Amino acid sequence: MWKREVVKKNERALLLREGDFVRVLEPGVFKAFDPFKRLSVQRVALDAPLADASLADYLRQSEPQTLARYLVAMDVAEGEAGLRYENDVLVELLPPGTRRLYWKGRIEHRLERIDLAQHSALPVELANRLTQPALRARPVTGVAGVLLAQVPAYNVGVLKLDGKVERLLQPGLSAFWRFNRDVSVELVDTRLQALEVTGQEILTRDKVALRLNLAATWCFVDVLRAFGQLQKPLDHLYRELQFALRAAVGTRTLDELLEDKQLLDRVVIEQVQMRLDGTGMVVGAVGVKDIVLPGDMKTILTKVVEAEKAAQANVIRRREETAATRSLLNTAKVMEENPTALRLKELETLERIAERIDRISVFGGLDQVLNGLVSIKGAHAS
């Protein structure tokens, strides 16, 4: 007939009569006469919020003294965010419209409210607490309501609030509240970058289909202007390179393009620089990497080149033959006017022939050889 309950020091208990709240039981032994078993006790942990939302609303409206004695209200307005602390340690980020009750006693609860209309960014110190949850003894919950933007070196971040470009973020860590707004950060590399325009099928003025690959280097000179005027700056640059390349190729014949390989580069870069003036982007250099001809055109050009090279080789051969003939003619005139030179030429020829002979046999004796030498000397003397 008696109701007896023991409430521990790390607990609180709710005394209910036929399911309806009566009062809060503090640590100790509770005894009550209950012959009809109408009383019940519901234990709650001190480190958890009051889960019964209807009971929380009842305490707020009808028993503010009970609420102030046993509970701490964590109420966040629609235009606010909340930082919930336990024993001065940040444990949770509360979204707008949060209404919670936490038990007093073992843990000291504290709420810090943030006006979202006045503060869109989080302090750097607070942002640093949210970046390494695995290294904290107790990670902070509710971080989904914060956008953490880590801008690396040589980059800037374009901050957009509700689709509008606000400002640039310098390298480092930044954090922004996501509650009640659409926030995004786009990273932009400020270094010189490369862009390739590949596989462009273009007809020349004489109706020859070419496949071209183009490479360009570019960079931002004014990021805010570029993103303020262009929705997607990189796509815009890609299209401008395409249009300039088509205009340069479509107004010239194949022979003009093959004669001057740098013509396309000059025309494209001049047109692109003119079109990008005032957009916050500049093109450093443009170069056509490949010009791919159709198969039949390759065959024709190969034959043309072969014919040209054959003609050039024929001209060179005729020129050399003419020079050799002229040299022989000059030599013949010298030998005709000077018999000694003719005899020396004969001896030179005999010497070259003798170099290839391993052994010489003399017939007629040594006198014949000497007589021959005397005859040679006599001819020289004459």
* Pairing mode, strands 164-169 and 155-161: antiparallel
Per-residue confidence (pLDDT) for residue 144, from 0 to 100: 92
- Is the model's pLDDT at 361 over the cut of 70? no
- pLDDT tens per residue across span 196-207: 998 888 888 888
Closest by Cα among 204, 206, 208 to 245: 204
Among 18-22, 108-112, 345-349, the range scoring the smallest mean pLDDT is: 345-349
- pTM for the full predicted model: 0.66
Rg (CA), the chain: 50
Closest by Cα among 277, 247, 276, 275 to 263: 247
Every domain of the chain and the residues it spans: 120-191, 194-293, 338-382
- pLDDT tens per residue across span 13-60: 998 999 899 899 988 998 888 888 888 999 988 888 888 889 999 999
Residue type, 243: F
123-132, 249-258, 293-302 — most confident range: 123-132
Mean pLDDT (whole number) for 363-372: 57
Per-residue confidence (pLDDT) for residue 30, from 0 to 100: 87
State the pLDDT confidence band at 371, using cuts at 50, 70 and 90. low
76 vs 332, more confident: 76
Residue type, 130: L
How far, in Å, CA of 144 to CA of 123, rounded?
17
For 375, phi and psi rounded to 5 degrees? Answer: -60, -40
Per-residue confidence (pLDDT) for residue 231, from 0 to 100: 83
Per-residue confidence (pLDDT) for residue 100, from 0 to 100: 92
- Check residue 154 and report its DSSP letter: T
Per-residue confidence (pLDDT) for residue 258, from 0 to 100: 76
For 232, phi and psi rounded to 5 degrees? Answer: -135, 95
- pLDDT tens per residue across span 276-335: 998 999 999 998 888 877 656 556 556 656 667 677 778 888 888 788 788 777 777 777
CATH architecture of the domain covering 194-293: 2-Layer Sandwich (3.30)
- Is the model's pLDDT at 132 over the cut of 90? no
Helix or strand (DSSP H, E) at 23: strand 20-25
- pLDDT tens per residue across span 144-199: 999 999 999 999 999 999 888 889 999 999 999 999 999 999 999 999 999 999 88
How far, in Å, CA of 163 to CA of 228, rounded?
11
Mean pLDDT (whole number) for 236-253: 90
Helix residue ranges per DSSP H, the chain = 53-62, 64-70, 124-131, 223-229, 233-250, 254-259, 263-275, 295-337, 339-354, 366-381
Per-residue confidence (pLDDT) for residue 216, from 0 to 100: 93
103-107, 331-335, 338-342 — most confident range: 103-107
Per-residue confidence (pLDDT) for residue 294, from 0 to 100: 67
Average pLDDT, the chain: 84
